[in-house]
A = this chain, B = another copy of it.
Amino acid sequence: MIDICLPGTGGMKPLPNRYLTGLWAEHKGKALLIDCGEGMQIALAKAGLSLARLDTLFITHFHADHIAGLPGLLLSAGNYGKCSPLVIYAPAGGREIIQRLCCICPELPFDISVHEINGRETIFRNGLEISFMPVRHRIDCYCYSIMERRPPVFSPEKADRLGVPVNMRSVLHKGQSIDVNGSIITPEMVTESERPPLKVTYITDTVYFPELSEFAENSGLLISEGMYGEDEFIPKMTQKGHMVFSQSAEIAAGSRSKELWLTHFSPALTVPEEHLEAAKAIFPNTLAGTDGMKKTIT
């Protein structure tokens, strides 16, 4: 189970009614956050999310609208009682940039370690498998997927058929084999087939390219950027290193994702949900993200 929230959905600059793009994901009481533009701590407070639970921060890239909120977020996390270390994953050069920004928050009550990402990679944090892939923006930038692999479901029917006594089934649940009247019963013998993992993919600040669909494959939820709704903006957005709604819909369709939330709207796009037509024609289950939008992925 992964609890998802979009604290903000704007691109370029924070607005009075729309904070900057990011993704908050909670799993087993610990939270990860992707991106931290100016005002992120306000957006998280507005969405009722506690900075005390923040465990890992991922930065897509070092444009100000994705990082400028870091010093304030760190200070407030400290004031909220965070004292466990914070791990930050960021593109190459991140250690120095983060160190510079932190010159105005020199006395934090927790340690920070910065891991610089170099190319495609998968890491494991708190039971989640997190993958990064470089995207195509004006500077080094990464997209992320968050995956929870799930153990196969226990089958009482199979256990009955093999004569496994009820009081011995908890051992199999824990992944150990047992001896039933001289026959070795393994966990695999009493479970259904593998369940697909829970997967959330987050793509922002990139032009469209086909590998994005492969990266997002089978996402339960794909969160992907769209600066504007109409295809007429494609040339201008491509030049700026961005996409429009229909291009994210292409990724959603191509990746066989279940649902698409659009985010990172241009400040000029005041009502994104009025511009969904082209995207919905390609991928019907498309929603325009809104600040504070939440979902539990199960």
User: Which residues in A have some Cβ–Cβ distance to B below 8 Å?
Assistant: 12-16, 37-39, 41-42, 45-46, 62-65, 67-69, 71-72, 75-76, 79, 97, 100-101, 103-105
* Neighbouring B residues of A71 by C-beta, 8 Å: 38, 64, 68
In the complex, are the beta carbons of B72 and A104 less than 8 A apart? no
Q: In the complex, are the beta carbons of B104 and A13 less than 8 A apart? A: no
Residues of B within 8 Å of A97, CB to CB, are 103-104
Known: A38-B38, A38-B72, A39-B42. A64 touches B13 (CB 8 A): no
Q: Out of B16, B64, B68, B103, which one reaches A46, CB within 8 Å?
A: B16
| Of the residues B13, B45, B76, B104, contact of A79 by C-beta under 8 Å | B13
Asked whether, in the complex, the Cβ of A72 is within 8 Å of the Cβ of B41, the reply is no
> How many copies altogether?
2
Chain B residues whose C-beta falls within 8 Å of the C-beta of A46 in the assembled complex:
16
- A64: chain B residues at CB < 8 Å are 71-72, 75, 104-105
Residue A101 contacts which of B69, B79, B104 (CB distance < 8 angstroms)? B104
Q: Is the CB of B103 within 8 A of A13?
A: no
7 closest A-B pairs by CB: A100-B100, A38-B72, A16-B46, A64-B104, A68-B72, A68-B71, A64-B71
